[in-house]
Amino acid sequence: MASSETNSTAASDDILDSNYDFLIKFMLLGDSGVGKTCFLHRYMEGEFRSRFTATVGVDFRLKKLEYDFPEDDGEEVKKKIHLQIWDTAGQERYRSLTKAFFRDGMGFLLLFDVGNVETFHSVRDWLSEIKEEAYCENPDIILIGNKCDLENRAVSEKQGQQLANELNVPYMETSAATGNNVTKAINTLLDMVMKRMRDYVSGMDPKTGKSGEPGNVGPETKTETQSSSSCAC
Ligand code: GTP
Ligand code: MG
């Protein structure tokens, strides 16, 4: 499975329209200063913004993508995806506000800063909050050690990987500064969510349009067989 950008410009990317097959919502989470806003800026604009302005509340950007979606007959068809990526404030004082948005997330990018051990220690708390608030108990999550360009690390790649193994989530190291692995991390999470989506769609009865299995695909998903909410929790 592969995703590619449509020909739309960055400006038109942010315009929400109904010309899509799947609306996917990701959330960026983690302590203040881990680099969530820079990660998103790097993904959207391909640039690094070194200035630190703490995010207030929540914000989102929209990316329009085409995705090779496997059909039951083994053929792949291109599907239009509108990927909304929500950037949340890491500061504790905004927590009750940002938590209210967790339920809308279909995939979670949980970041810590490899140069700051405190942010690594917060990962378990973030994970508990995701599991409490998300649309289902077992949403798709990737653990990300950001700022892997730093020479002075406080957390090794091995420690990051060990924690991820323990938590049963994939681990990746990224750098918003150099761009290393940023797009790859988003695409990896997209593959995880789209696999869930495909399992859900292929489990649907073609006559009734209803899923035989509880799908847990997300809170607000439009597919070509189903046009409104499809949360099956
Ligand atoms: P809140 O909005 O408060 O939750 O913080 P945030 O997680 O959005 O952090 P932000 O993206 O604003 O980045 C915080 C600081 O880390 C900024 O000074 C960035 O320049 C720096 N930073 C972010 N990503 C990287 C990275 O990959 N490498 C390095 N070296 N610095 C980074
Ligand atoms: Mg921010």
- What are 109-144's pLDDT values in tens digits? 999 999 999 999 999 999 999 999 998 888 999 999
Determine how β-strand 58-70 pairs with β-strand 107-113.
unpaired
The domain of 67 spans 10-202
pLDDT > 70? residue 24: yes
pLDDT > 50? residue 226: no
Which pLDDT value is given to residue 232?
Answer: 34
Q: Is residue 88 part of a domain?
A: yes
Which pLDDT value is given to residue 204?
Answer: 62
Q: Is residue 218 part of a domain?
A: no
Total structural domains within the chain = 1
Which pLDDT value is given to residue 74?
Answer: 79
Q: Is residue 100 part of a domain?
A: yes
Q: Is residue 146 part of a domain?
A: yes
Q: Is residue 5 part of a domain?
A: no
- Domain containing 144 — which CATH number? 3.40.50.300
Distance 106 CA to ligand 2 centre (A): 20
Q: Is residue 211 part of a domain?
A: no
- Dist CA 222 CA 228 (whole Å): 6
DSSP SS3 for 197: helix
Q: Is residue 55 part of a domain?
A: yes
**What secondary structure does DSSP assign to 101-153, as a single string?**
HHTT-SEEEEEEETT-HHHHHTHHHHHHHHHHHSSSSS-EEEEEEE-TT-SS-
Out of 27, 29, 32, 38, mutate this one to test ligand 1's pocket (max ligand atoms within 8 Å of CB): namely 38
| 110 compared with 4, residue with greater pLDDT | 110
Which pLDDT value is given to residue 1?
Answer: 57
